[in-house]
Amino acid sequence: MDEDAVASILGESSSNRASARARPPCPRRGENREFDRHFDESTAEYDPTEVDFQELRRAAWATWRTKPPAALSRPSQTAVAEDDELARVLALSAQEHASSQSASSSSRSRFHDADRAAGGGLNPLGGRDDGDDDEELRRAIAMSEEEARAPKRQKRDETPEEERRMLAEAMAASLAESEAGPSMIPASPSKPKQEVNSISHHNIQSTSGSDTYTAPISIPSSPLPSITASPAPSTDSAAPTILKIGGQVIDRAQLEKERRERQAARQAAISGISSSSTTSSTSSAPLKTASSSLASSTLSSSESHPFQASGPFPTDAAGEYYLDGELRHVALRIGEHSRERTFSPQQVVGNHSQIALVIVSSFVIEDQWLLDANILPPPEVVPTMTVRPHRKDQPEYNGKIELKANGEMWVYPKMLTGFGSAHMKYFWIFYKTGRLRVAISTANLVSYDYQEIENTVFVQDLLPLVAPIPLVASNTTHDFALQFARLFTHLRIHTGLRNLIRHHPAGSAIPFTPENNFADLAKYDWSKVRVRIVMSIPGQYTGHEEIGKLGISRLGKVLNEQGWVPRSGEKLDVEFQGSSLGTYSLEWFDKFYSFVSGKTSQQLVHRTKPTSWPDFHILFPTLATVERSIGGKPGGGTMFCGKAFNSVTKGLFYDANSKRGGVLMHTKMLIAIFEPAENRLGIEKVGTPTKLKRKADEMDIGSKDVGGWIYVGSHNFSPSAWGNVDVKKNPPTLNIRNYELGIVFPLDRKNARSVADRVAPYKRPARKYSASDIPWDQNAFPDVG
């Protein structure tokens, strides 16, 4: 392949090539990230089986433009003076990043940044309204300009001890709660009761609770209406359709068609489907809505998974996408081979060159891993908002937003107490193809959570509509979007977005604005969303309507509204798998059981005082299970039992064992199966309607064929996560300490138990603790380093 052929692909001129003769050898991938981006974007459409990419890369290096990176675009003339100044500061930072890869690696800190540890960095862009933001921005600019010109400070690595400390603080919140009855949230933070030592992994998960989100549940049996979506403008669209490579004339359209056919054949070989039956679906144009086999086959057999279609899946330039939602466990480096499809973090994020905006939230982030493994795109190139806890020793950042010198926006959730935790884990990714991806995960953005411990990710892709459809609360399928709109407003994502649009080099291309309460959400087709969101936000809430929007009372209300409740005469088989437990009173436990039975707060007002503990399975690994695991005791550093296990509750405990063998579990999953009263031994039967007369509030609502449901998300089994409801007060109250987020979806009555067996990452039925078993507890065994 000659350089002229390469130039025709990459759009280079002969003058640029001539000036590049004296260049050093072609850098390996990762040594020059700007060139990597240039090369990837220029060759995104080519198949490695058709083109020699090594030769193409060497030739591209020789022909790469020799002029320095273009200056970052400045705001429009109507912008205020401080916008111009901040753009200049960001340009300095971006140029430093491009010239020194090691400096870039040390400057990108997402959760615990060295600049803030040393007293530097930008001031947070806080305040109650956007007018205050501009005033704080002026002060931030002066500090930012000084920081941009100062020598780079060395990144302070996040140590295992510090991450362990974050967990200890979260556990202290749960352990410090008084469960005798609902209480007000403390106004001042307190220190954890017990300090813990470091462990070998520095990826650690909090145990605290979170906000409850509910996602729509309508389960359509037919595909979406035919829609012609208009992809966002892309540089790829300007590429020539006829290529000249090594003197050979090649039709790009034909190449793409053949590539898709080969891809379909490979996928078909894996899934056992003939290539002839899959070619047509995979060769469809990007963003064309393919009819989903999942809608018609969901829960049709004992082997079906409610959110794992057989594939192949449609693709666009950003990658594979899932219009019906896809729930998979993470791809691990340890344990036995799984027959199920899995998600890697790279699969969740997709093609970096096609991303226009990222909004990501995690309790813990391992910055170096994100860089080394190329998980997220560089924030100086792709506008990025990172929702993360503020440092405990810097309370002035609580509830603020902070624009970093590399263009990244940090959002610190508002905490009302030192006990709470910002524990949500999600992605919102806007692609240049026009598609939106929402991913809700149980995994932190750390290598340990994606490689060495069980976690689960739900991905829902949304295509753009021809014309926006206003979101209405009465439309169940819109609930998913409206729940996030509420969360984004609470977190002040709207303020962060406005600043990104004004100041980021790629801000003008951001396809999502916060105006009119995130009205842009109406641009997407939410009709295929079949889950409900359950969310927790810290605070005290009053009145049945308000408390029904969050936490455990939200879950009860959703189950009641959807009719995902046992029939008369049926009981619940309920089990909760998590990584950390709380402190339980009989009162709280009984109310939790009532809510998961589909009761609302109104229905609990006149409940009688409980005298016995409900039949409930708490799944948590025994000490022996952790000792036998692949990681041993050091691998159990993110798991806390605390005071949950005692002489009263020990009969509720069951061992937790991964299907992949020797792997510990971080997935938080609540499974409820409706079981006829005469069938409590685990033998599945189809429940029969009772002839007993039932009260109106006990009648089945909606889906009569539902035989159970599953919750997956960030909530651990603790009052901090789910909240504490006091229905004896008038009006009733709900107290929540943590941010949490998850989804809930129904199970078909015909095969609820077998489908639950497949969805769960652990072996079911779980083994009950023997008399000699004790739970693993990192606090009780601190010598795990």
Rounded to an integer, what distance in angstroms lies between the CA atom of residue 283 and that of residue 280?
Answer: 5
Active site residue 617: no
Tell me which of 423, 503, 504, 715 is the catalytic residue. Answer: 423
Asked if 637 and 164 touch (Cβ cutoff 8 Å), the reply is: yes
Rounded to an integer, what distance in angstroms lies between the CA atom of residue 659 and that of residue 763?
Answer: 5
Amino acid type, 67 = K
Question: Quick one: tokens of 473?
Answer: 């609360």
Rounded to an integer, what distance in angstroms lies between the CA atom of residue 442 and that of residue 465?
Answer: 30
Rounded to an integer, what distance in angstroms lies between the CA atom of residue 740 and that of residue 211?
Answer: 4
From residue 511, alpha-carbon distances to 121, 144, 436 in Å are 28, 27, 10
Active site residue 423: yes
Rounded to an integer, what distance in angstroms lies between the CA atom of residue 361 and that of residue 496?
Answer: 14
- Residues 6 or more apart whose Cβ sits within 8 Å of residue 490: 414, 537
Backbone angles phi and psi of 460, in degrees to 5: -125, 120
Rounded to an integer, what distance in angstroms lies between the CA atom of residue 506 and that of residue 377?
Answer: 13
Is 355 strand, coil or helix? strand
Say if residue 425 carries a ligand binding annotation: yes
Beta pairing partners, 330: 343
- How many residues does the structure list for the chain? 785
Tell me which of 97, 504, 666, 715 is the catalytic residue. Answer: 666
Quick one: which H or E segment has residue 89?
helix 81-99
Question: Quick one: tokens of 557?
Answer: 């209300």
Question: Quick one: tokens of 107?
Answer: 């400057």
Q: What is the DSSP letter of 154?
A: P
Asked if 395 and 510 touch (Cβ cutoff 8 Å), the reply is: no
Say if residue 609 carries a ligand binding annotation: no
Asked if 531 and 744 touch (Cβ cutoff 8 Å), the reply is: yes
Backbone angles phi and psi of 56, in degrees to 5: -60, -40
Q: Between the CA atoms of 254, 356, 365 and 661, what dihedral angle is there, to the nearest 10 degrees? A: -30
SS (H, E, C) 752-779: HHHHHHHHCCECCCCCECCCCCCECCCC
- What is the CB neighbour count within 10 angstroms for residue 693? 7
Rounded to an integer, what distance in angstroms lies between the CA atom of residue 74 and that of residue 609?
Answer: 65
Which residue numbers belong to the known binding site? 425, 668
Catalytic residues, by residue number, are: 423, 666
Cite the annotated binding site for substrate by residue number. Answer: 425, 668
